[in-house]
Amino acid sequence: MDEMAGNSKHHLPLTAVCNSDDLRSLPTVTHELAAQKLLVESQQKRISQLEHRDDERTRQLEMTAKDLQCKNEEIVRLLSVILTQRREKEVILREVYHRVKNNLQVMESLLKMKSRSLADTPAREALDTSMQRIRVMGMVHEHLYQTPDLGGVSLLAYLDGLIDCAIAEHARKPGEIKFQLDVEEISLTLDAAIPFGLLMHELLSNCFEHGLPKERTGEIHVSLRHTANGVRMVVKDNGAGLPKGFDPARSKTMGLKLAKGLAHQLGGTLTFSSNHGCQVQSDFTRLLEQVKTEFPAIAQRLAASKHPPLPTQYPALRLSE
């Protein structure tokens, strides 16, 4: 009996089991399991959607990459064509500049032959002056086809040649006339180089012929510096100075008329002064405009830095053959 009583404690009736707290929470557990199942299914669906989206984006990126690769190959091909055409253009331009220089030399030679047949008259002097001006223009084309990028003429190199020509034309010995240069480097285009060279040739010729004639030593100072309004040019000598009563506005000489016209072409006006010699000054506004327009990198570099002046003593000058 006692054993049966003990067993009865362990084998409760079904109603007692159904009324227990553990079985009463079964619906809650079932609901939670169902909610978790729905959550898992929702997450799996979301993951599937993300994977599908990633696959689609990957496919689009692969197509875009292929398109970009094709476009890059086309760009490389076009750049190769452009580079080839540019090299061909440079070759043609160099040939053109070289032929123009040669043609100008032929013209100079023809004038020289004619000049030798004339007596020492004003006609011969006019031919000699014309030859000198043709030589100045030929130097521009010679410098152009020798530059690496055909971008422009180096002002320093061009001025060096102009000084040598002036010394040779007036039969002066090296060292007889000393030059002092205070010049910034400027790259001149063809349109600017020719009027600048002709103008500088006229001014140097005036220094040799009127300020420092033969058998007279002296100095010529040439300054070309950037200013706020352009490029300022100063050419002066320590010679005899301007004649008394000199008025550039009334002068009718061919050289002075040409110099005034060339200065106007460069956007400047010549001003003359006489103080222990002759000084000519002008501000070339159009020269700065062409530097800014056609050579922006050079203009920015020149504007950002102050160039130190060149050595005051010009190196040994050469006489042309």
Label residue 75 by pLDDT band (50, 70, 90): very high
174 within some domain:
yes
Residues 121 and 156 in one domain: no
Calculated CA dihedral for residues 105, 111, 112, 115, nearest 10 degrees: -170
The last residue of a domain, from among 131, 150, 169: 150
Residues 114 and 175 in one domain: no
Cβ atoms 155, 186 nearer than 8 A: yes
Residues 248 and 145 in one domain: no
Residues 122 and 177 in one domain: no
Question: 0.75 cut: is pTM over it?
Answer: no
Residues 160 and 263 in one domain: yes
The last residue of a domain, from among 150, 184, 214: 150
The mean of the pLDDT values for the chain is 79
Residues 138 and 174 in one domain: no
Residues 122 and 243 in one domain: no
Label residue 143 by pLDDT band (50, 70, 90): confident
The C-alpha atoms of residue 308 and residue 294 are separated, in whole angstroms, by 24
Residues 95 and 126 in one domain: yes
3-state SS assignment for residue 303: helix
Residues 124 and 264 in one domain: no
pLDDT greater at residue 90 or residue 79: 79
pLDDT for res 290: 55
pLDDT at 4 over 90: no
pLDDT for res 222: 94
Label residue 49 by pLDDT band (50, 70, 90): confident
35 within some domain:
no
308 within some domain:
yes
User: In this prediction, what percent of the chain has a pLDDT beyond 90?
Assistant: 30
287 within some domain:
yes
Q: 144-154 pLDDT, tens per residue?
A: 888 877 778 88
Q: What's the CATH code of the domain at 230?
A: 3.30.565.10
pLDDT at 119 over 60: yes
The last residue of a domain, from among 83, 115, 150: 150
194 within some domain:
yes
Q: What are phi and psi of 244, to 5 degrees?
A: -65, 135
The C-alpha atoms of residue 129 and residue 273 are separated, in whole angstroms, by 25
Label residue 104 by pLDDT band (50, 70, 90): very high
Question: Number of structural domains, the chain?
Answer: 2
206 within some domain:
yes
38 within some domain:
no
Residue 130 lies in domain: 73-150
The DSSP annotation for 148-166 comes to: SSS--EEHHHHHHHHHHHH
Helical spans, DSSP H, in the chain: 2-10, 14-18, 21-24, 26-116, 122-146, 155-169, 190-206, 254-265, 285-294, 296-304
Residues 128 and 192 in one domain: no
pLDDT at 188 over 90: no
Residues 229 and 106 in one domain: no
pLDDT at 288 over 90: no
Label residue 120 by pLDDT band (50, 70, 90): confident
Q: 22-35 pLDDT, tens per residue?
A: 544 677 777 778 88
First-to-last alpha carbon distance for the chain, in angstroms, is 150
195 within some domain:
yes
User: In this prediction, what percent of the chain has a pLDDT beyond 70?
Assistant: 81
Q: How many CB atoms are closer than 10 A to CB 15? A: 7
Label residue 255 by pLDDT band (50, 70, 90): confident
Residues 117 and 161 in one domain: no
The C-alpha atoms of residue 205 and residue 211 are separated, in whole angstroms, by 9
